[in-house]
Structure formats: structure tokens, C-alpha cells
Amino acid sequence: MAEPVAAAAAAGEAPATVGQAVIPLVNRLQDIVARLDGASAAAAGLELPQVAAIGGQSSGKSSVLEALVGRDFLPRGPDICTRRPLVLQLVRHSAPEEWGEFLHAPGRRFHDFEQIKREIQSETDKEAGGNKGVSDKQIRLKIFSPNVLDITLVDLPGITRVPVGDQPSDIESRIRSMIMQYIKHPSCIILAVTPANADLANSDALQLAKLADPDGSRTIGVITKLDIMDRGTDARNFLLGNVIPLKLGYVGVVNRSQEDINFNRSIKDALAFEEKFFSTLPAYHGLAHCCGVTQLAKKLNTILLKHITYMLPGLKSRINAQLVAVAKEHAAYGDTAESTSGQGVKLLNILRKYCEAFSSMVEGKNKVSTDELSGGARIHYIFQSIFVKSLEEVDPCKSITDEDIRTAIQNSDGPKGPMFLPEASLPFEILVRRQISRLLDPSLQCANFIYDELVKMDYINTSHPSFVGGHKVVELAKQDILPPKAPTSVMIPKDVTAISSEIQLTSERSQKSSAIFARDATRGAISDQGSQPDVDTAVDVSYSILALGVLDTPFLLYHDSWSENTGTSAAGRNQRAHSLVAGSSSSKSVPRAHSLDNLLSIIQLKEPPVMLKPSENQPAQDPTEIAIVKLLIKSYYDIVRKSIEDAVPKAIMHFLTLEEFPLEVEKVEKGYSLAEFATGLPNIHGLSNGDPSNIYGSLPNFSPKKTSHLDQHASVASYNSTSYLDANAISVAAPSLSNLAVCTEIAGLQEPIHIQLPTGAKERCCGWKFKRFRDHEQFCQPLASNGVLQ
Ligand SMILES: Nc1nc2c(ncn2[C@@H]2O[C@H](COP(=O)(O)OP(=O)(O)OP(=O)(O)O)[C@@H](O)[C@H]2O)c(=O)[nH]1
């Protein structure tokens, strides 16, 4: 094996000794910090010292790192080779064997360095593809050897300008920013690798290094390929820092050429060649301190040690600060619980605290920021300034033209044509549904903004006091239209109450809708009957009964003039009304009775066009009708909008703050000390020995006297989440009850819960927790009436 230069350096002067004390420590820290992602480590200020080789493509970065390691294990060649950052951690150990370990293959030792090379290549292909693609995902490799210094080296992809293979068009900027991610940290020592056979003054490596390290305090210039410079030229001036000065100076190296690699020339031979090169070429006489890989290793170690010594105090204080913060957080979780159930209780406690903290944040009880809106204020902003404002801006009649209304009216006339008196309710329903459905998207968006919860829209309540239904709308419409027409009268269905009562037989939601409707419709009928003339007199608009859902809930339309014209009886109407309510779509196909004979006698007409526009020849639509429909839409839409503006935020807030986190029924199998038990239970309101009043005093509707027979040693601790509607858990703790079987039964649960103290459970407690009691009395009563606890 070749004489490893790093090892030679290690055997050198003072720095190696210091390194043995400091660098292994940093390497151990590297291992710990490696478990954090880069961003977290950066956020915690824990970037650790490392050495990154940067430079143009094929400048010789991998060759330099290999020479430092003293082993041949990195993919090298004239084409792009390094396509993923390779974090190479050198670990010096005393055993003679050498091997490599990859982070992605834990526990597997690679003793064959050729295999390490292949593994790097295949891992690169896995992530960056086989066709020259580049990825910023690291490969982490550890080399264990007695011949290396503990040091972390990073081999980065070379800067390239022209995209080849699968490389994206912005490959140059991508690689530059990838490199910057490493070298921007003050903890990083930069090896700026520049080939001597290219224009040194335009070195990509030096340019990038200058950006990251403007004062040059952590950049070492490395000049490669001195052996293949143009005849008659040399890099002496450069190495002396006369061209581009660098505080830490330059080191010139001669690595193996491609031919050397092809012929498997050993590193040892390469080092011998390098030494001969510098000693024979007069241009480099007197520059021994900055020529050769050995010098580079020494320089690197000296600088790295200084750097680590400089960085460690700050690093230590940052780690200490983190440690204190974590210890504080850890202490906040309470004592360590050994048992599984104890850990469960602890976890519940943490979740409870989280929920409470979350609620406090939403409710603005946390410390209030003076800089910006936060927590509930942001939610309020979304509700008011985004959601409500957007809804207010919507014109209910937007996108409904008079033409649309005319079409809807004609459609609602069906085959009867305009010979019957028009009515506004059906077109209104159709159009208002369409308009109201526009409220759905913003409502869902609002919910999405805050919490991914269900948005529920209420039914259309035409009995709303603000809704200008019935004859009111006619009057209003006529005021809007010129010239004013004769006063209108409204026909009231005689059996409206009967119909309404049938509506109540339908589905739950329909029941709700129709019940409200029936009440108001009946009221309306009575008052209208009192104020209106005979129903047989001229009718302008029929009174329609609506109980319809906004989107797809059932609705009912009862149209008196239809029943009169078809001769349907009141009973038939009721039946139809009922069936209409039962299905949302059935209303769309209101049956118009045709016997088979009638159908057969119908004269066959030619097919209507696919799309039917309202006929131009039709007599002009009464503007009153259009105005009525518009007014109905505006009025109803306004009500629904207001209701939605109110209901959606409420619904969201309900799910956001009042939903308890799922407290599962949990049997605390093993006993706990009273203290453990108390800590494990969130916010126990009272826990005492022999004085239950302390406990129950905090529970509403729970009288202490009910527990008067409680054994003097027994205590019942109940948890009542005062911020919520329900008590979430009850726990029974019975310390010092080795001779007592505590049995209790909790109402409202499927299974009675029995609490049996473990034998000899002196000074121990046991308990159960379970979720969601709707009523304190429910569980308090049986507690008091049951066996031992009475
Ligand atoms: N003659 C000579 N050839 C060298 C020297 N250094 C590197 N090379 C050759 O240059 C080519 C590229 O070397 P690498 O070490 O792969 O360069 P790199 O910068 O790591 O390449 P990428 O990772 O692909 O950007 C190889 O063929 C090396 O043999 C040197 O000092 N002298």
C-alpha cells in the first residue's frame, strides 16, 4: 500500500497531536449532527468544521482527496464523475485493517476499495440517473484506517457550463448553488482546486471561494496538473500568491494522470513521481513548503486544527444552549414513566397540553404579539376580510340575464305554453339554486384556509323574516316596473297545513326544513286569508310552498293552479307533495298525466333542435315576472349569504377548537404511586385522601354527599375539561387500599367499568380513563350508588 500522506502528516509536528484530541471529538459530533437534516443543523448553529473540495469539472478534486486519503477509491476520469456530494469521513483507528462504511448501507463493511468505488457509482446512478445527471443528495462514506487523520472531506460536483446528457439547462447555476450550500458556512474550509493547464486567473473555484469567504481566511488554493502545463510555463507566481493573493496560500500538486489510472499506477509511485517533479524542475525550487500532496496534508491539518480550536468555544456554547432548552422541554413533560401504561398516560397529558396550548393560541390567550396578527386573529381575518368580504361582493343576479329568467319561466310553463298565468316560484328555485351553489366554493376555500373541515349549508328557508316571498315580492316587483299594474292578489292553498304535516314525515333534514316551513306557511295562510279576498278571484301569482335544500336536499313545490287545472284532488296533491319532498330530483319531473291513448293520438312533430332558445315570436315576457324572479333571487340569496357568512366560520371554529382529542378508554393496569397518578392525569381538579369534597367540588352538578361512604383511604379524581362541553375522563385513584376492591360502574358506557385494586397495592393507585361523557350526572350517579364506593 502507498505511504499515505495524511498519515505522514499525522506523524509530523504538533498539530497532529492536537488533532488527535480535537478532531475525533468533532467527528463524533459530525455523526450526531448528520442525523439532523442540514437545515435543522444550520438552524441550531451546529455546522461542524469540514473540508470541501470545489472547482471546475475534471480539475482534479477527487484526485486530490484520494491522495490525501492515500487510497484509490473515488470514481475519476476526464468526464463528469462526481455527480452527488460525497461526504467522506476519515476515521483513524489503531487496528491494521482498513474499510469503508456507507450511511445508506449500515453495518456493511467494504474492505475492497474498488467495491467502494462501484458502490459510489451505483448510488450516484440511483439518485442522479445514468446519464450525467446531478443530484444534491449526499452520499456519506466513512473510511476507517490507521493511516488517516480524523477529518471530514466533501467532494462536490465540478462546475460545468454546457449541459450534457440529462443535465438541465441551468446546470451551471444549480451546481454553483449546491457548492455554496457547503462553503457558505464559516465552519467550512475550502479547497479551491484549479488545474494549472487552464487559465488560472479565471479559476471558477477561486471565484466561488471569494464569494463565500471574501477575506480568504478559510480558503486554500490547490493547483493541480502542474505536470501538463504548456511547455515554457510554470505556476511559480501563482503558488507564491502573486497573481491572486490568498491568506492561507497555495499548494501545487501532481496527481495521477488518466494514463496512470488506466495502467493502475499506484499512489506510492505517483507520490514518488511528484516528489521528483518538484525537485527537478527549477521553477519550483525554494517552494517546498507549497508543493506536493504531503505539504497539502500538513497545511490542511494545521489550518483545520486552528479552525476547530477557533470554532469550538462557539460550538460548545451553542450546544449547551440547545441542551438547556431540550432539558427544559424534557422537564416540562414530567418524570420519566417506566411502564407502558404510564407512558400512555404521559403521552395523553402531552397531547392534552398541546390541545390546550393550541386552543389558547386560537383564542388569543397566549402572549400577544405586537408585530403581526397571529393565531385566532388570523382566522378572524380570513373569515371577515377574505371570506365575508368576498361574499359581500358577489352580485346575486350576476350572470343571470333577463334572457335566462325568460327561458326559465318558459321552461317552467312546460307544454302548457303561456296560456296559463305565469308563476315565479319554479324559475326562482332553479335560478336561486344556481346562484346559491356559487357560495359553495368560497365556503370550502375558507374551510381549507383554516382547517380541512366539512362545510355544511343550510336549507332554503323561504319563511325567513327578511325574505320577500309571497305577495310581498309581487308588490315590490311592480313598484320596480313601469307602468304599475292593477293590484295583485294571492291565492292561498286551502290545505297547506295538511301538506306541511306530511312534509314532516320525510327525512331528518327534510323534517327540519318542512317543519319550519309548515309552521310559517300555516301562519302565512291564516294571515293571508284574513286579509285577502276570495281565492277564486283573479290570481296573479300562486303561493308556493318551498322546503328545499340549497344544493341537493329534497324540495317541495305545491302549485295550486296546477291542481285546479288538472283536477287533482286535495288528497292527490298531498300525496304528490309528499313524494316530491321524498326525492330531490323527483320535483324535476312533475308528472303531467297522459294516458296511453292520449299519447298515441299525439301528432308526431319533428324533433326539436338540441338547444332551444326562447322563441322570439313569443309574446314579450311580462317584465314583472322577470323582476319578481330577480327580487326573489336577490332576497333569498342575501339571506343564504348572511347565513353562510355566519355559519361557515362557526362550523370551522367548532371543529377547530371544540373537538376533543381522542382520549381512548385506557385501563391503567399497573398501580402507580399517587404522585405518578396525579401527574399522569391532566388537570385533575381534586385528589385527596378521605376528603371527597375536595374532588367533587370542582365538578358541576356533583354533590359531595353522594360519596359520603367512600372509604377514608379512597379518592376519586375526576377530570373535567372546563373548556369543553364534556368531561373527558374520570379516573379513580385508590391509594392504600390493599384490602379493598373498588368497584364502580359508569353510566353511558357499554360495559360497566370495574376497578379492582391489585392485591397488596399499598400506596398504589389504579384507574381508568375514558372519553366523552356528555353529562356529569351520568357518571356521578352510578358512582355514588354502586357497592363499595357508596
Ligand atoms: N496529468 C495529470 N492529470 C490529472 C491531475 N489531476 C487529475 N488529473 C486527471 O484529470 C482527470 C480528472 O480528475 P478528477 O480527479 O476526476 O477530477 P474531478 O475534479 O474530481 O472531476 P469531476 O468530479 O468530474 O468534476 C482524471 O483523468 C485525472 O487522472 C494531475 O495533477 N496531473
d(CA 71, CA 744): 74
For the full predicted model, state whether its pTM sits above 0.80: no
Judged against a pLDDT cut of 50, whether residue 695 lies above it is answered with no
* pLDDT (tens digit per residue) in 515-542: 222 333 333 333 333 333 333 333 332 2
Residue nearest to atom 23 of ligand 1 (CA): 82
Residue nearest to atom 13 of ligand 1 (CA): 60
Q: Packing angle between helix 267-280 and helix 293-332, nearest 10 degrees?
A: 120
* pLDDT (tens digit per residue) in 91-112: 878 888 999 999 888 889 999 9
**Prediction ipTM score:** 0.98
Helix (H) or strand (E) holding 171: helix 171-183
Judged against a pLDDT cut of 50, whether residue 69 lies above it is answered with yes
Name the nearest CA neighbour of 29 among 407, 304, 312: 312
Average pLDDT taken over every residue of the chain: 63
d(CA 678, CA 672): 9
pLDDT attached to residue 227 = 92
Judged against a pLDDT cut of 90, whether residue 740 lies above it is answered with no
d(CA 39, CA 733): 46
C-beta separation of 442 from 390 below 8 A: yes
Residue 191: what residue type?
A: L
Q: Best mutation site among 257, 269, 274, 277 for ligand 1, i.e. most ligand atoms within 8 A of its Cβ?
A: 257
C-beta separation of 788 from 773 below 8 A: no
C-beta separation of 102 from 89 below 8 A: no
Least confident of 149-153, 232-236, 269-273: 149-153
The response to whether residue 194 sits with its C-beta less than 6 Å from ligand 1 reads: no
Q: Best mutation site among 59, 61, 62, 63 for ligand 1, i.e. most ligand atoms within 8 A of its Cβ?
A: 63
d(CA 274, CA 538): 116
C-beta separation of 98 from 145 below 8 A: yes
d(CA 193, CA 208): 11
The response to whether residue 259 sits with its C-beta less than 6 Å from ligand 1 reads: no
The HSE-up count of residue 489 (CA atoms within 13 Å, CB side) is 13
Least confident of 127-131, 200-204, 306-310, 604-608: 604-608
Atom number of ligand 1 nearest to Cα 80:
24
The response to whether residue 164 sits with its C-beta less than 6 Å from ligand 1 reads: no
Bridge partners of 719?
729
Residue 39: what residue type?
A: A
Atom number of ligand 1 nearest to Cα 65:
15
| Distance from Cα 120 to the centre of ligand 1, integer Å | 17
Q: What is the average per-residue pLDDT within 739-749?
A: 28
**Whole-number percent of the chain with pLDDT over 90:** 14
Judged against a pLDDT cut of 90, whether residue 728 lies above it is answered with no
| Distance from Cα 60 to the centre of ligand 1, integer Å | 3
CA 484-487-488 angle, to 5 degrees, is 115
Q: Give the contacts of 24 (CB within 8 A, at least 6 positions apart).
A: 92, 150
Tell me the domains of the chain and their CATH numbers: 18-321 (3.40.50.300), 367-474 (no CATH)
| Distance from Cα 81 to the centre of ligand 1, integer Å | 10
The response to whether residue 263 sits with its C-beta less than 6 Å from ligand 1 reads: no
3-state SS class at 598: helix
Residue 177: what residue type?
A: S
Q: Best mutation site among 76, 121, 277 for ligand 1, i.e. most ligand atoms within 8 A of its Cβ?
A: 76
380 or 1, greater pLDDT? 380
The response to whether residue 227 sits with its C-beta less than 6 Å from ligand 1 reads: yes
183 or 565, greater pLDDT? 183
Residue 362 vs residues 368, 380, 451, 732: alpha-carbon distances, Å = 11, 10, 12, 32
Residue 461 vs residues 75, 457, 464, 468: alpha-carbon distances, Å = 76, 12, 6, 11
The response to whether residue 309 sits with its C-beta less than 6 Å from ligand 1 reads: no
Least confident of 238-252, 388-402, 431-445, 481-495: 481-495
The response to whether residue 262 sits with its C-beta less than 6 Å from ligand 1 reads: no
The response to whether residue 83 sits with its C-beta less than 6 Å from ligand 1 reads: no
| Distance from Cα 374 to the centre of ligand 1, integer Å | 55
Helix and strand totals (H; E) in the chain: 27, 18
pLDDT attached to residue 45 = 62
The response to whether residue 191 sits with its C-beta less than 6 Å from ligand 1 reads: no
Judged against a pLDDT cut of 70, whether residue 615 lies above it is answered with no
pLDDT attached to residue 637 = 79
Q: What is the average per-residue pLDDT within 624-653?
A: 76
Q: What is the average per-residue pLDDT within 141-160?
A: 86
pLDDT attached to residue 396 = 77
Q: Distance between alpha carbon 617 and the CA centroid of its chain, in Å?
A: 59
C-beta separation of 662 from 354 below 8 A: no
638 or 425, greater pLDDT? 638
Q: What is the average per-residue pLDDT within 364-373?
A: 69
DSSP 220-279: EEEEE-GGGSPTT---HHHHTTSSS--TT-EEE-----HHHHHTT--HHHHHHHHHHHHH
The response to whether residue 63 sits with its C-beta less than 6 Å from ligand 1 reads: yes
Atom number of ligand 1 nearest to Cα 57:
25
